[in-house]
Amino acid sequence: MDAELYIPASYIKEQAAKCGFDACGVAKDSVLTDFEKRYSKWLELGYNASMSYMEKYLDKRFSPSHLNADGVSVISVLLSYKPSQVLVKSPFVAQYAYSEDYHRTIKQKLFRLIDTIQTDFPAFKATPYVDTAPISDKMWAARCGLGWIGKNTLLVNESLGSWVNIGELVCNIVSDYDEEVPNHCGECTRCVDACPNGAITPNGVNANRCNAYHTIENKADALPDDIDLKGYVFGCDICQKACPYNADVIPRLEVTEERMSELQKIDTAGEADFKKIIKHSAMERIKYSQLRRNIDKTKNKH
């Protein structure tokens, strides 16, 4: 970059709010040294289970500048997915999958944010990321002052809780950067205690014991006998439901009665109906055979 392009953080946050984001922060790109150490230990313990892709592109995971030559700063944004109503009986689906796939929704808003900023600052250059590249969304959201990393390794925002999806822009600006906020979990272990399989450890979440991993990432024909899905057939919200910072979060995502009806009937859906139910949602990550496997598991069939 020939000359530094300064854009005030207050301006960026104002534009992000206009684009529909619930929170925004800005941080200088740097190596996430502490996270690098913890992540290396997590991999050493085999806690990534069959997710071998998490062992790749490590340099990019710890510094976005390795992803983007213009990477001087990171703009992190949050979009709440706390729904207006929730499933109250099995089969349960993680709440982030109730509506349209967040990858699509956030990416559209990020492109709108880029266009908006470029209207006033034509030299602004940015690349959007939404959980689709080896960049640590949660760690950068924390670095941008948008929350802290809870014991369940999720980002916790003081007002939005952990019911948030994260996106970021790696960009060519300097700004008045946000400060990281203190971790407010303290001695609380509610998320740790709530996990039915003991997946939450001092070294992070052990995917080998995690319902979210087994219902989505695990492609095996059968799930381990000692894994208790607690009625979940896609993802898992158990540790989030236990978190006191999630107790009084105001719903920001309107879920229609029609959509709730579809989700409630997913366990009896044939393959054609299943494809209709998951279309344009995060549930497109699993096949019908995985759904049936997960449903059988919740009914204690092995």
Residues labelled as active-site residues: 131
Beta bridge partners of 6: 174
C-alpha to C-alpha distance for 182 and 184, rounded to whole angstroms: 6
List, as one string, the DSSP characters of the chain.
--S-EE--HHHHHHHHHHTT-SEEEEEE----HHHHHHHHHHHHTTTTTT-GGGGS-HHHHH-GGGT-TT-SEEEEEEEE--BSS---SSSEE-GGGSSB-HHHHHHHHHHHHHHHHHHH-TT--EEEESSSSS--HHHHHHHTTS-EE-TTS-EEBTTTBT-EEEEEEEESEE--PPPPPPP--TT--HHHHH-TT--EETTEE-GGG-HHIIIII--SSS--TT---TTEEES--HHHHH-GGGTTPPP-B---HHHHHHHHTGGG--HHHHHHHHTTBGGGGS-HHHHHHHHHHHTT--
| N- to C-terminal Cα separation, the chain | 58
